[in-house]
Amino acid sequence: MSFDFLMQNKFFIIMNISQYIETGNYQKALQLVDELIDSNQKNDKILFTKATILYHLKKYKEAENIFMELYDKNKNSGILFYSMALVALELNQKEKAFYLLELAYLNGNDQSIYKIINLLFEKNGICDYANCKESCCKSVVLKGSDGDMIKDEQSFKRLISNPKQNNAWVKIGENKKNEWIFSCNNLGEGNFCKIHNSRSDACRDFPVGILSLKPVCSYYFRLSNELVKFRTKQTLAVVLDILEAYNYKKEKQIIMDFNENIK
Ligand code: SF4
Ligand code: SF4
């Protein structure tokens, strides 16, 4: 087989893998990634893709093993630390996930700081939709299938191509964090969701953290009973600033006291 043929073939396989990932067909994507690996086309990018696919297929231990293999070669990749943290969370390793998120942030992965804040708080309450003056469904930010907020066409397509997801969202703008804001055509009379029982995970999970909470919302957040200690002063300082900006002063003080011995 000629070199050109192999390269062309590899290009088409990679295109197909991207397409399968985009449409949520992770099983098929995994099959193609394995074909590439079996034909000696293994490299770090392909391994990272395989681990990410395994994560989506909920094969967390397998994903973890590959991420560890990559970590041995690359100890300053923000996206790698972030991905490892997502796996650790699924494996109920909260402290490990917390530390990995700190490392991810320190290595340039900004979104990690929001995940850290989410780990510090617990959501309480229920949706009082009938009395809600500013229903979230009128302007909603959505969490994508990778757990991050939707900020681009690709992740939005991935979200709505999952058969379980609602596809009645219409983009109406973007917020300061570049997250897309949607209205929803499934919102019925009295703020009642017309597809309540089959609404998507993104809807069930709302609000995803203190930063997405609307002032009118009947949900509220309180500090987790199982706080995790920070390992780095820098990430602690950033989180404290955010809590100050969002007026969580009491919680800020508790976190400061809890981490007073940080070096
Ligand atoms: S599907 Fe239902 S819960 Fe989700 S945004 Fe639309 S109206 Fe709201
Ligand atoms: S903002 Fe809160 S209370 Fe209002 S509809 Fe959304 S989840 Fe329910």
The tokens of 19 are what? 């397409």
Q: What is the pLDDT of residue 3?
A: 52
173 pLDDT more than 90: yes
* Whether 144 and 211 share a structural domain: yes
Q: What is the pLDDT of residue 11?
A: 76
For residue 237, being part of any structural domain is answered with yes
* Whether 84 and 163 share a structural domain: no
For residue 263, being part of any structural domain is answered with no
* Whether 203 and 232 share a structural domain: no
Q: What is the pLDDT of residue 224?
A: 93
The tokens of 4 are what? 């050109």
Q: Domain ends where: 119, 151, 166?
A: 119
At 96-154, the pLDDT tens digits run 999 999 999 999 998 899 899 999 999 999 988 888 888 888 888 887 766 677 899 88
Mean pLDDT of the chain: 87
Q: pLDDT: is 156 or 174 the higher one?
A: 174
Percent of the chain with pLDDT over 70: 93
* Of 170, 162, 166, 169, the residue nearest 146 (C-alpha): 162
* CATH assignment at residue 45: 1.25.40.10
- Amino acid in position 119: L
Q: How far apart are CA 36 and CA 42, in angstroms?
A: 7
Q: What is the pLDDT of residue 208?
A: 76
Ligand 1 mean position to 183 CA, how many Å?
9
Ligand 2 mean position to 137 CA, how many Å?
8
Q: What is the pLDDT of residue 189?
A: 86
**What domain range is 32 assigned to?**
3-119
* Whether 151 and 208 share a structural domain: yes
| Residue minimizing CA distance to atom 3 of ligand 1 | 203
165 pLDDT more than 60: no
For residue 181, being part of any structural domain is answered with yes
pTM above 0.85, yes or no: no
For residue 178, being part of any structural domain is answered with yes
For residue 14, being part of any structural domain is answered with yes
210 pLDDT more than 90: no
* Whether 167 and 241 share a structural domain: no
Could you give the number of structural domains in the chain?
Answer: 3
Report which ligand 1 atom has the smallest distance to the Cα of 182: 5
At 35-81, the pLDDT tens digits run 989 887 778 999 999 999 999 999 999 999 999 999 999 889 999 99
At 179-197, the pLDDT tens digits run 899 988 888 888 888 888 8
Decide: 213 in ligand 2 pocket, CB within 6 A. Answer: no
Q: Quick one: which H or E segment has residue 170? A: strand 169-174
How far lies 34's CA from each of 17, 27, 29, 46, 58, in Å?
Answer: 11, 11, 9, 9, 17
Q: Tell me the pLDDT band of 7, cut-offs 50, 70 and 90.
A: low
* Residue of 127, 200, 220 with the most ligand 2 atoms within 8 Å of its CB, for mutation: 127
Q: How far apart are CA 255 and CA 137, in angstroms?
A: 32
